[in-house]
Amino acid sequence: MSLNDSWMQRDLSVLWHPCTQMKDHEQLPLIPIRRGEGVWLEDFDGKRYLDAVSSWWVNVFGHANPRINQRIKDQLDQLEHVMLAGFSHQPVVELSERLVQITPAGLDRVFYTDNGSTGIEVALKMSFHYWRNIGQPNKQRFVTLTNSYHGETVAAMSVGDVALFTDTYKPLLLDTFKVPSPDCYLRPDGMSWEAHSRNMFAHMEQTLAEHHDEVAAVIVEPLIQGAGGMRMYHPVYLKLLREACDRYDVHLIHDEIAVGFGRTGTMFACEQAGITPDFLCLSKALTGGYLPMAAVLTTDNLYQAFYDDYSTLRAFLHSHTYTGNPLACAAALATLDIFEQDNVIEANKVLAARMTKATALLSDHPQVAEVRQTGMAVAIEMVQDKASKTPYPWQERRGLKVYQHALQRGALLRPLGSVVYFLPPYTITEEQIDFLAEVATEGIDIATRASVSVAVTPGAPSDFRDPG
C-alpha cells in the first residue's frame, strides 16, 4: 500500500469532510498532503499539485511562506492567546490600526471573529441591533441578491441563495428579500457589463422603495459572486446601491471575504466603486491563508449607537472564544507587510494580463459559453449548448472530470459545477499560468467530449454543482 493510500484509509475511517458526499470517496481518492511550498502542494507519494484555487481562496502568498512563518514563530514565543474581553495585545492593536488605515475612509472600528460565516453573523446582528438602539425596531429584514453566498451558519445561509447549500434547511432560515443579481453572464447579447448591471439595479431600487421601512441592511458580494459560480458584475451597481442605501436609510454590508485583499485587481472591491460600505467583512486571505480569522469593520456612527451606560443594555454582547487570536493577527500583519513591501497590487496586473492571454482561446471552444475575468479571478463556463447557454445537467458532474484530469497533470483545479476557475496565489509565475490554462483546456476537452450516463440520485453532489 502506498503512503497516500494508507493515510487515506486512516482518514476515511474517522473523518467526516466538509462539503462532501463521503460515499464519493469510494471512487474518488482523497489526497493526503504532506507539505506545501509556494504554489505547490505535495502528497505522501511525492506527487505535486499546483494550487490553482489558493486552497479555497485563502492562500495569496504561497504555502509555507518564509516571511509569514517567521512572524508566527516570533509571536509564538511571546503570546499564543489571551481572551480579548478585558484584555488586549500588541498584534491585535497593530492589525486594527492597519485595517482602518488601508480600508476606505469612514471604516474606523474593527470587530473580530474566527471565520467568515461568523463575521457575516456579526454584521447582520450589529445592523439589526443598531436600528433597535436608535428606536427603529421595525427595521429587521435583510435584502440579498439571487445566487449569493455568505457562509454556512444559519443566518449567513439565510442571506445566501445557492440552492445546493440552503434548500434543505429552508424551514430554519430568516425570511429575506431576494433581488435578481446583476450577474453579467445573464446579460443580453451585445450589451456591456456596465449597461446590464445598471439595468438590473431597477429591481433593487424597487425593493428598497417598497420595503425600506422594514429593511435593516442590504448584503452583497462585491463584483464577484464566488460560490455561486464566479459570476461577475460591474462596479456601477455598487455605486448605485450606496446612493440608494443612503436615500432609504438602509445599511450596506460588503462581504469581501472572498474578494478582499487584491482578488478583484484592487486591494478591496469597494474601491472600484469609490464607496464606503457600512460594514466590510474580511476573512480568507486576511491571514495569508494561515489561520482562521475574520474582521468586521464599521463606522464610528454605528459604534456610537452601542456606546452607553451598561444598564441601558445597548452593548453588543457577542463573542467568539478565539476572537483576535495573536497568532492569526501576526499572520495577518505579515501578509499586509508583503502587500506593501512587494507592491503586490501593481505586480498582479502583469499576472492578470497573462491570465487573460492564456485563457483567450477557450472563448472559441464549442462547449464554453464564456470566459470572464475580474482581476486575479478567471472563470470558464462549460455548457451543453453554447448559443442558448444551456447548462449541463448537474448530475453529469462535468466539472469533476476536469478536476480529475487536472490532478493527474499536477494541478488542483476544483470547479464549481461546470465552472472551471483559477484563483491562484499571487506568487504564481507567468509560465505556471500558461500551464494551468493548458491543463484546463485539456480537462475541458475531456469533460465535454465524454458521453455521460446520468444517474440521478437524490441529494446534492458536494460543491460540484450546476450554478444558477
Ligand X SMILES: *Cc1c(COP(=O)(O)O)cnc(C)c1O
Q: Bin 62: left if φ > 0, else alpha if -120 < ψ < 50, else beta.
A: left
Q: Does 293 bind ligand X (CB under 6 A)?
A: no
Number of H helices, E strands in the chain: 14, 16
Is the alpha carbon torsion for 350, 352, 64, 48 positive or negative?
Answer: negative
**Distance, CA of 191 to CA of 79 (rounded, Å):** 55
Name the residue nearer to ligand X (CB basis): 149 or 392.
149
- What would the grid cell of residue 394 be? 448537474
In angstroms, what is the minimal distance from the CB of 171 to ligand X?
Answer: 22
| Nearest residue to 277 via CA among 254, 301, 244 | 254
Interface characters, 225-264, with ligand X (x: CB under 6 A): -xx---------------------------x-xx------
In angstroms, what is the minimal distance from the CB of 13 to ligand X?
Answer: 26
Residue nearest to ligand X (CB): 116
In angstroms, what is the minimal distance from the CB of 2 to ligand X?
Answer: 31
Q: Does 151 bind ligand X (CB under 6 A)?
A: yes
**Distance, CA of 391 to CA of 384 (rounded, Å):** 5
Cα–Cα distances in angstroms (integers) from residue 249 to residues 83, 246, 334, 352, in the given order = 36, 5, 38, 38
Looking at residue 415, its amino acid is: P
3-state secondary structure of 384: coil
Cβ atoms of residues 254 and 281 within 8 Å: yes
Return the residue of 43, 121, 161, 221 that touches ligand X, per CB under 6 A: 221
Name the residue nearer to ligand X (CB basis): 228 or 443.
228
**Distance, CA of 245 to CA of 216 (rounded, Å):** 10
In angstroms, what is the minimal distance from the CB of 248 to ligand X?
Answer: 24
Name the residue nearer to ligand X (CB basis): 129 or 263.
263
Region of 148-156, 192-200, 335-343, 448-456 interacting with ligand X (CB under 6 A): 148-156
β-pairing, 48-51 vs 40-43, is: antiparallel
Taking CB under 6 A as the criterion, which residues in 86-145 touch ligand X?
Answer: 115-117, 120
3-state secondary structure of 99: helix
Name the residue nearer to ligand X (CB basis): 220 or 362.
220
Name the residue nearer to ligand X (CB basis): 52 or 368.
52
φ/ψ of residue 64, rounded to 5: 50, 45
Cα–Cα distances in angstroms (integers) from residue 90 to residues 31, 102, 189, 326, 449, in the given order = 38, 18, 54, 8, 57
DSSP 325: -
β-pairing, 294-299 vs 224-225, is: unpaired
**Distance, CA of 187 to CA of 237 (rounded, Å):** 14
Return the residue of 149, 185, 426, 464 that touches ligand X, per CB under 6 A: 149
Name the residue nearer to ligand X (CB basis): 55 or 69.
55
Region of 146-154, 189-197, 235-243, 316-324 interacting with ligand X (CB under 6 A): 146-154
Q: Does 207 bind ligand X (CB under 6 A)?
A: no
Name the residue nearer to ligand X (CB basis): 116 or 417.
116
CB atoms within 10 A of CB 27: 7
101: enclosing H helix or E strand: helix 90-102
Taking CB under 6 A as the criterion, which residues in 402-461 touch ligand X?
Answer: none
Name the residue nearer to ligand X (CB basis): 117 or 359.
117
DSSP 25: G
In angstroms, what is the minimal distance from the CB of 183 to ligand X?
Answer: 15
In angstroms, what is the minimal distance from the CB of 117 to ligand X?
Answer: 3
Residues contacting ligand X: total by CB under 6 A = 14
In angstroms, what is the minimal distance from the CB of 23 to ligand X?
Answer: 23
Return the residue of 109, 139, 150, 251 that touches ligand X, per CB under 6 A: 150
In angstroms, what is the minimal distance from the CB of 204 to ligand X?
Answer: 18
In angstroms, what is the minimal distance from the CB of 227 to ligand X?
Answer: 6
Name the residue nearer to ligand X (CB basis): 92 or 253.
253
Cβ atoms of residues 464 and 419 within 8 Å: no
Q: Which chain residues interact with ligand X by CB under 6 A? A: 115-117, 120, 149-151, 221, 226-227, 255, 257-258, 283
